[in-house]
Structure 1
Amino acid sequence: LFARVLFGARTSLIIGLVANGVAVAIGLLVGLLAGYLRGVAGNLLMRFTDLMMAFPALLLAIALAALLRPSLWIVAMVIALVNWVQVARIVYTETRGLVERDFIVAERSLGAGNGRIILLHILPHLMPTAIVWGTLGIATTVLLEATLSFLGIGVQPPQPSWGNIIFESQSYFQDAPWLVFIPGAIILATALSFNLIGDALRDILDPTQRGRL
């Protein structure tokens, strides 16, 4: 069990890091473009984001995973495709506030192009948010991967993940309940750890948010 949990940690954390990295990148791009461009293009991007937010993430992930052949990378991409919307919404709100700031208006009056303003002035202000959400999102991603694998539409045996270890141990629950409890406790501890790390990073990078959820 110990060896499988260790190997399962590798699988679950790879999925967590990859899926969340892709989700943050997509959300950052969509939110930044929607907030900066505004107009028809910005509205279309945000209406699409709102449409994606209307679907429960778990149900959408289950539907996508069921349609595709399960593998480590497919599961990571499925999770990324349902997790980017929260990042996009937050980045959009921050970008809308930034584009009205005096230093952005001054850059425009001096003839700075959109690319220069985005890369040198807006994007650096958004990076703390991206870093914090990138850390907090790993907890959600690990839980979602475990759920998909437990349902049999995530990572498939013989490749271990925490979710499919629990799935395979169900039939032994009465005789050996620790086969379920140990990986379950590790999933819970991992999610809690990344939440605490994300909260700490938020307090460091943005002291004005300290103490808020």
Structure 2
Amino acid sequence: MSVKHGLLALLAEEPMGVYRLRKEFEARTGGSWPVNIGQVYSTMQRLERDGLVAKVAAPHEDVDLYEPTETGRAEADAWWRTPVARGEVGRDELVIKLALAVSAVGVDVRDIVQAQRSETMRAMRDFTRLKSQVPAPGEPVTSPELAWSLVLDHHTFTAEAEVRWLDHIEASVARAVLTPSSAGTTTTDRDEAEVPR
């Protein structure tokens, strides 16, 4: 999540101070990606240094307000129009754990899958409970409620995909025929082992 671009997009609507920016960012993302006030301060300092925002006078307030410069508005507009690249996949602890587990000696992958499936299903129940607090389709809804509903939908769909992936892993492990020597060996070791003498 680009906090920098998110803050720039908020400022494109109206000038805001650091505390209000933090509050708006968290409210509009349903609190899913909390940012601390220090992160917002340092981001605003970098944006100002880079000529993307400027301080404006705040009438009757003792708070620095920021607004985007023309360059900053262009940057925010470009961010809205540019798709999020999926080429670079971030590190996912679960993926790393399961990738290592299939080649680790004495590790039961099925136990890991089952434990993770239980945790993911628990999270899905929590998302469903939270979703019941959002107005139903067709009922009046505020912008923050709609934003929170969409964030919950994303979490739910991601969890559903994870359960399907865990099912796939379980089936793949059940079908796989691993030789004892294949776990923990390098390609070179296996190549050497296969050379006829």
User: What's the TM-score once normalised by structure 2's chain length?
Assistant: 0.30
More RCO (CA 8 Å, sep 6+): 1
Higher strand proportion:
2
Question: Which protein is bigger by CA-based radius of gyration?
Answer: 2
User: What's the TM-score once normalised by structure 1's chain length?
Assistant: 0.28
Higher helix proportion:
1
